Amino acid sequence: MSKGVSRREFLKAAAALNVLGAAAPFGLNLASIGSAAAAQTTGYRALVCLFMYGGNDHTNTVIPYDAASHAQYVAARPTIALARDRLLATSLGPVAQQGGREFALHPALVNMSRLYREGNAAVVANLGPLIVPTTKLQYQQRSVPLPPRLMSHNDQQSAWQAYTASGEGIRYGWGGSLADQILSSNLTSAFTCISAAGNAVWLSGRNVNQYQVSPSGALKMLAISGPLYGSVAAKNAYRELVTLSSRNLFENEIGTVNRRSIDTNERLQAALPPSTFFTTPIPTGNAVAAQLNVVARMIAARNALGLNRQVFMVSLGGFDNHSSLLTEHAKRMTTVDSAVNAFWSWLGQLGLQSDVTLFTASDFGRTLTSNGDGSDHGWGSHHFVVGGGVAGGTIYGDFPPTTYGTTADIGQGRLVPGISVDQFAATMGRWLGVPDTSTNTILPNIVNFNTPYLPLYPG
């Protein structure tokens, strides 16, 4: 082993092999153990990221509804605008923070609009990756540093999820960096960062790795999940083989990691309630709801697993709607709405609606202009924050007029973000219990913003 590779780094690399998934017998689904700064961890809290891969069309997600603003919106994208008479059921009413303008959500977001009106959901307008506060003129003149390769899927997924707005290849995410700070509050640190959506930068920390689960629960080592070739003896022999101690450093570390992985998975399987635990069933054929169900079940097992703080990720793809936007986007909005509504019900059964925050994220927003029956890659976007602890029922940030040539329009109605992901992340971290003194370490670019925290939570 190279002198430059520490034991911790080796273990982190071994744990990363879990991207092979449940079918890989040596998927090492582990979180490394590390020390963390003291966090404010009274009671239980969890953060859930719902990432919409492909770039969600924010303009047809949160829509101007008053007559004048809606007419402006229709004029800007006549072939893909949603008619005003379809938006009555999802109308949010006037928003004082936006000068009394009225808004509505996509007609498929009936439950999300209800949560908003009840004060349990909010919209954050024109949010996106930034390195420093940036104006349209500064963007045009390239007079300030910008996130690399804007409007590239892979790079902007990474920029959204990483602890700093860098492109593809960054190692650490802000979800994992927040988790590093709360790790010591959990008796079982392996269950601090949990992905139900495969491997993701967002959950990667310096002292914690993501623990991956499937909707059915822990990812099993298939060769020991039952009789091997019909033989229990063969299964036991295989388990002994892959967990052996050895004088060889590499072999010994693999055995150690495998033992811990098997023990951790078995502990989760023993504690995790079944998918039928909740009175509200999982919506049929809804992949996001299935992911959120295992998240809710892990939350239900929090006491058995000794957990006070957790960070979760779920995802949905198919948002790169360059064509067929009206039909394809409606399908995904329906999926998101149904899944979030079920999750809200499950949290209600647990009595934890005020102790869990779910938020949406995506590669980027999309163009206001249409390419015919779709939209193209953009930058800033509108997102939801859902939770009983959220100061909901409003739209935070500056919601630009839905037309061309505004101070936020950098071309084709693409928006230069008015709120940075760093500010959003800092706000989530403070709510989770991360001390303000740690924010600059977790998010090094936050010092560039005069207002590091958003007023998303009371007090």
**Does 278 reside within a domain?**
no
Alpha helices (runs of H) in 65-173, residue ranges in sequence order? 67-76, 110-117, 136-141, 153-161
Question: What pLDDT was estimated at residue 14?
Answer: 40
What pLDDT, in 10s, does the model give residues 284-304?
A: 999 999 999 999 999 999 999
**Does 203 reside within a domain?**
yes
Mean pLDDT of the region 361-387: 98
Which residues contact residue 288 at a Cβ distance below 8 angstroms, ignoring those fewer than 6 apart? Answer: 50, 314, 315, 316, 335, 336, 339
> Band of the pLDDT at 267, cuts 50, 70, 90?
confident
Residue 52's DSSP bridge partners are 316, 362
Question: What pLDDT was estimated at residue 13?
Answer: 36
**Does 276 reside within a domain?**
no
In this structure, what CATH number is given to the domain that contains residue 395? Answer: 3.40.720
What pLDDT, in 10s, does the model give residues 301-326?
A: 999 999 999 999 999 999 999 999 99
DSSP classification of residue 273: P
**Does 235 reside within a domain?**
no
Continuous segment of H or E residues that includes residue 383: strand 381-386
> Band of the pLDDT at 226, cuts 50, 70, 90?
low
Residue 350 tokens, joined: 């647990």
DSSP classification of residue 40: -
Quick one: what percent of the chain has pLDDT higher than 70? 83
Mean pLDDT over all residues of the chain? 88
Which residues contact residue 117 at a Cβ distance below 8 angstroms, ignoring those fewer than 6 apart? Answer: 92, 93, 393
Domain housing 74: 31-216+285-448
Mean pLDDT of the region 354-368: 98
Torsion of CA 193, 196, 200, 205, to 10 degrees: 10
DSSP classification of residue 192: S
pTM for the predicted model, two decimal places = 0.88
3-state class (DSSP) for residue 7: helix
**Does 264 reside within a domain?**
no
**Does 147 reside within a domain?**
yes
Handedness of CA 425, 429, 434, 435 (dihedral sign): positive
**Does 398 reside within a domain?**
yes
Strands 309-316 vs 395-396: parallel, antiparallel or unpaired: unpaired
Strands 309-316 vs 91-94: parallel, antiparallel or unpaired: unpaired
Instruction: Count the domains in the chain.
Output: 1
pLDDT above 60 (res 8): no
For residues 103 and 122, what is the distance between their CA atoms, to the nearest angstrom?
A: 12
Residue 51's DSSP bridge partners are 315, 361
**Does 23 reside within a domain?**
no
- From residue 331, alpha-carbon distances to 99, 114, 197, 221 in Å are 32, 19, 19, 35
